[in-house]
A and B are shown apart, each in its own frame.
Chain A
């Protein structure tokens, strides 16, 4: 056994379209139910709007839209995961989220070259826990600004 096998990191798991994703838990500030989102005009399509979180106004990003899946109505199980990274605080809207696991580093493999779909871009790796496949999210890629919206009004 090599030393690196001992390192394992805690992750928060959530679901999108029946697929499980993971995000490092030290990035997660809190998790809330989805309610009261105020739309912001002329913002990127995946930004559903803004919410209040701990005194700060933060964008709420619908990950389904971000990944190119169809948008669905929010349910009581939908969750807003508020994450903190690189001086930015944003909220991610997911189908459900309630698990908290430790993933050993050795079980994470880099995502295969073949994945060219939109969602593949946002993966930092793929973890296998027994039978389960967990897609590890590349958060910074997620938060990159899309092509700037044109300045001219329609």
Chain B
């Protein structure tokens, strides 16, 4: 036998696969631990959770052993043993046990990560003893240990699942799938069928079977909503099926066990011969497949002739696509998934982007056809162009969908962070999560992971007060942090809200004045309410607050905050922040759902072309010069009862202002109902779909510019960063009662 290290080296080429697969398993673990925590106090823990956890650690153990990551192997083995005991009902889950699972997972993560970064692995002795303490000494296993297909599902309680579902009014079906080479070539296999069924109901049972002709079949027992009472059997392609009746208790008593007997559904082409006993593995019997019962079922098979009737197959030639509902069945197997490198998806997106630009050029040229061009043909071309636009939109949607992942991944990590910090700081925090299923682009997830974790960490460390302080302040002992995600049109909104001590705006302002970050005319007024929170956020992010000594002033929200803001802006989003001393803080992060393509208003400013994302535009106005009010060194406009400042883009970008005093001003109003600004431009050139390209080079970080695009002529057009244009670097007070509306 050669040394272990030799074989480890052999498998080194699979390290990337190893890390990727472990990460997948760890993501499952995090997800399931979250689910476990929420049902810990219930009398019955859902078996599928424990089984998923068991399996994940088992897989990590096996893989780690192969590539030689010893710490991970040992630790995973310990976690697996503990979970096996839990799953088999030998012990019950206590809070200490759950804590051990949580820390064990984190240490396991570190052990694997350390191998990747070639650092020293973490010490695992402590967590191993912790886990051993939770796990009773090895009890002699009875031979009927779970050597069964659905190990957890077949606990006695689970067998009653069918009956429970029936009493809930669900419809039970029995389907049979016959695999074949032809079907397989079309991509239709047992996995695909299983997924299809899982999408429309709950799969109770799946098992292979040999029929009399030695053909392999798969039996599926499915429970669907009562509403689906139509003849599903004839609707699903490639399957034959019929409603399934649970036999009466009488037959159960007769069979001497709590097995549910199933009449095999009509099979496709079976001659009416009795099936030879012993050849058939299982005649669709729903059994608890322990050793003893298995033998029982085989015996029963031999004695009871299985009727093989000729089937009336209504070959389903319908093109009905059963729209997939969200599947909750734990029978989901991951083998129909494809692992794709993110760069490949980026490339795909880029190519779609180019198609979008090309089509836009086509449209431009179509518009410019001479009038002499035959009208009928012009119409045909335009119609084709519209079809193309629609198809491209669908393609874009499709590619985007591929890149979307639920934000639950990030939220699950945060759960960990919170628990960790709770332990470290001794604070009590309840984390409330909603909208975890909201999907965002994978790239955004990767970039936002650290910033969001940073915000959550801050909320716990610096936001939520110690229990005694909270009680003294009349608050509940348990602090609350809410994580919310939702979509609004083309944006994803992520919120982090805490009911902690908030940020002391007064002190922040004082410091800002000391640093000279506020202009003098404004520093007279000390009333914090005059400053909108956006300004406070900007101050917190600016260099005046980035030194460690000043971190406590902003409740620890110093350096990291700048990174959060910059990352969000780089992704084309914006951060909104409100805080109230003593009450808490609230971060709202808007991120575009699609990074790449958006609609934008193209404008001309002093001879240069810029793009303004349409989603941030409220209106476009044409205003006479005399409608402008001058206040100190600001120009303000009043429109429909709203007042907002004007900014000359030309001045902002150090160009010469070429707007004529006698002409009307073209103003693009950006922002939202609370915060608006009017951007003065020379001309509007049109509304266009653009492909957003990030400006990543450090030389190109310019305030006010969010990215760049190309309009089809090879020239770069800069995209304005609306959020910076709304909030000034130098905060100015706008108190509506200070000026007179000129109507």
Which A residues are closer than 8 A to B by beta carbons?
A: 36, 38-44, 47, 49-52, 55-59, 61, 88-90, 143, 145, 151-153
Contacts and interface: CB of A to CB of B under 8 A. Distances in A.
B641 interface: no
Interface string B694-733: 1101111011110110100011111000000000111000
Contact of A59 (B350, B700, B729): B700
A105 B710 CA distance: 43
Nearest to B609: A38
Contacts of B542: 151
B144 interface: no
Nearest to B353: A55
15 contacts: A36-B716, A41-B705, A43-B700, A47-B700, A49-B716, A50-B695, A50-B708, A51-B716, A52-B714, A57-B694, A57-B716, A59-B700, A145-B699, A152-B729, A153-B729
A55 B350 CA distance: 8
Contacts of B608: 38-39
B697 A59 contact: yes
B129 interface: no
B652 interface: yes
Contacts of B730: 152-153
B605 to A, nearest CB: 10
B343 to A, nearest CB: 13
What is the size category of the interface that chain B forms with chain A? 20 to 34
Interface string B287-299: 0000000000000
Contact of B708 (A42, A57, A143, A151): A57
Nearest to B544: A151
Given A52-B716, A151-B543, A42 B697 contact: no
Given A39-B608, A40-B705, A41-B702, A57 B653 contact: no
A38 B716 contact: yes
B693 interface: yes
A59 B702 CA distance: 12
Contact of B699 (A36, A38, A43, A151): A43
B654 interface: yes
Interface of B: 350, 354, 517, 542-543, 608, 652-655, 693-695, 697-700, 702-705, 707-708, 710, 714-718, 728-730
Nearest to A37: B716
A40 B350 contact: no
Contact of A57 (B543, B654, B655, B695): B695
B446 to A, nearest CB: 16
A29 B716 CA distance: 20
A44 B694 CA distance: 18
Contact of A145 (B694, B698, B718): B698
Given A42-B702, A55-B350, 12 more contacts: A36-B715, A41-B653, A41-B704, A50-B695, A50-B716, A50-B718, A52-B715, A57-B694, A58-B697, A145-B698, A152-B517, A153-B730
Contacts of A51: 716
A40 B729 contact: no
Contacts of A90: 697, 699
A62 to B, nearest CB: 12
A144 to B, nearest CB: 9
A90 B717 CA distance: 18
A52 B704 CA distance: 20
